[in-house]
Amino acid sequence: MASVHRFALGSIAALALSAVAAPALAQQGLDEPFQKPFREALAGKTVAYVPVAMNFDLTEGWYAGLKKELEPYGVKFVIRDPNWNTNAGAQAVTSLISEKPAVMVIHNPDVQTYAKLLQRAENEGIYVIQINMGSAYRSSAFVGANWIEIGERQTEGVVKACQGKSNKIAIIQGALSAAASAYTLKGVENILAKHPEIKVVSSQAADWDAAKAKAITQTVLKQNPDLCGIVGFWDGMDIGTAAAIKEAGLTGKVFLATSGGGERKGACELVKNGSFDLDMSYDVPTQAAQMAGTIKWLLSSGVKAGSVKGSEYTTLIPITKENADTQTACWNLSDLKK
């Protein structure tokens, strides 16, 4: 009898115990097996950044965005600023190859200068990510704007604005050797081929320089006061183009399409005050996030440098009067740096 009683008591105790213990067991959690190797793959690695120059919205934005995404994982982020000097840039890339960072983020001044160097870097086991302006060599990843699309969409905007008007347009190019300028021009040509009625009265390079862009535009507008549109190749330079249009009293009459990184002061504010009619933004913070994502993937995957090659073209944001006021169209460099 006693043993039966003891058995019953034991069973109740065991039941009670298991009732308490079951939730406790669930609370113990499961070890996610991939995050540790991910952290180990990133910690202590060096990512080197070679822009064409610091101190302007694009390169500062990429820098701030990458830093924010990579440094919390213990990645060492170094910068070599060639300050618009292509030779200094080539030297920086060369010396980096011997320093062997894990990843190099490269902003090419033109399609040729760095091409061989980037190939050498990948042969040495360094992942190379090219940003916005690519070189002739295709590396692990290209993150950036599709310039041909930018040229096409800007020109479509201008052609549409010219309907029923003089059909005379001008093109203000950047620096002729830069990929951004040459590819955008191709996009412009693609659209113009479909619109034989459009006449290009001037197509000149202003070398990314606002003062030069202003001088060219002034002369063109004096010759062609009935001009209906201008395709400009960078908003930083087209401040000058816009100043010339304003000075001629033609704001609103000459449609100015341009492109840029979409920083609030340099893009949305200028669209709002009528300087630009269309600014195709390639959205620098998103580009930075895509680059950071690619870097994390490459480092954690352990693929051999140069064995994978891909592109991530940025989804463009057309900034016009309609959306220039919204929170999402532009970004603030000061916020990104926080």
Partner 1 sequence: MKRVRVSQQEIVFAVFAALFLTFSVFLNGFLSADNMLTLLQNVAVLGILGLAMAIVVIGRGIDLSLIAALAVPAGLVLQMVQNGHSLPASLLAAGLLAIAIGLVNGWLIAYAEVPPLFATLATGLFVAGLGQAALFQLDVVQWSDGMAGFERLGQGSILGIPTSIVMFVIACVVVFVLLRQTRWGAYIYAIGDNPFAARVTGIPSRPIIVLQYVLAALIGCFAGLVLAASVNSMPTRIFNSTLIYDVILVVVLGGIGLSGGRGGVVNVIIGTLLIGTMLNGMTILNVPYAGQNLIKGLVLLIAVITDTLLNPRNEETAQQGDI
Site for partner 1 (CB under 8 A): which residue of 166, 190, 204, 300? 204
Site for partner 1 (CB under 8 A): which residue of 39, 176, 325, 326? 176
Backbone phi and psi for residue 127, each to the nearest 5 degrees, phi listed first: -70, 135
- 188 is an interface residue for partner 1 by CB under 8 A: no
- 167 is an interface residue for partner 1 by CB under 8 A: no
Backbone phi and psi for residue 68, each to the nearest 5 degrees, phi listed first: -60, -35
* For partner 1, the closer CB: 202 or 259: 202
Taking the complex as a whole, the smallest distance from the CB of residue 24 to partner 1 amounts, in Å, to 56
Taking the complex as a whole, the smallest distance from the CB of residue 162 to partner 1 amounts, in Å, to 19
Could you count the other beta carbons within 10 Å of the beta carbon of residue 25?
8
Q: How far apart are the first and last CA of the chain?
A: 76
Strands, sheet with 76-79, edge to edge from the N-terminal-most edge strand: 76-79, 46-50, 103-106, 127-131, 141-144, 310-313
Q: Collapse the DSSP code of 35 into the 3-class scheme (helix H, G, I; strand E, B; otherwise coil) and give the result.
A: helix
Site for partner 1 (CB under 8 A): which residue of 45, 60, 145, 278? 60
Q: Name which of residues 302 to 331 contact partner 1 (CB under 8 A).
A: none
Site for partner 1 (CB under 8 A): which residue of 101, 109, 134, 236? 236
Site for partner 1 (CB under 8 A): which residue of 11, 18, 83, 301? 83
Q: Name which of residues 1 to 30 contact partner 1 (CB under 8 A).
A: none
Q: Which residues contact 333 (CB under 8 A, 6 or more apart)?
A: 57, 60, 61, 64, 263, 264, 265
Q: Which long-range contacts (CB under 8 A, 24 or more apart) does 323-329 make?
A: 324/268, 324/269, 324/271, 324/272, 325/268, 325/272, 329/262, 329/267, 329/268, 329/281
Taking the complex as a whole, the smallest distance from the CB of residue 182 to partner 1 amounts, in Å, to 12
- Amino acid letter, residue 273: N
Site for partner 1 (CB under 8 A): which residue of 56, 73, 297, 313? 56
Site for partner 1 (CB under 8 A): which residue of 205, 271, 319, 330? 205
Stretch that binds partner 1, among 31-39, 40-48, 155-163, 202-210 (CB under 8 A): 202-210
Taking the complex as a whole, the smallest distance from the CB of residue 181 to partner 1 amounts, in Å, to 10
Helix axes 115-123, 86-99, angle to 10 degrees: 10
H or E stretch covering 147: helix 147-162
User: Which residues sit at the interface with partner 1, rule CB under 8 A?
Assistant: 53, 55-57, 60, 83-85, 176, 201-205, 207, 209-211, 214-216, 218-220, 222-223, 236, 239-240, 242-243, 246-247, 265-266, 333
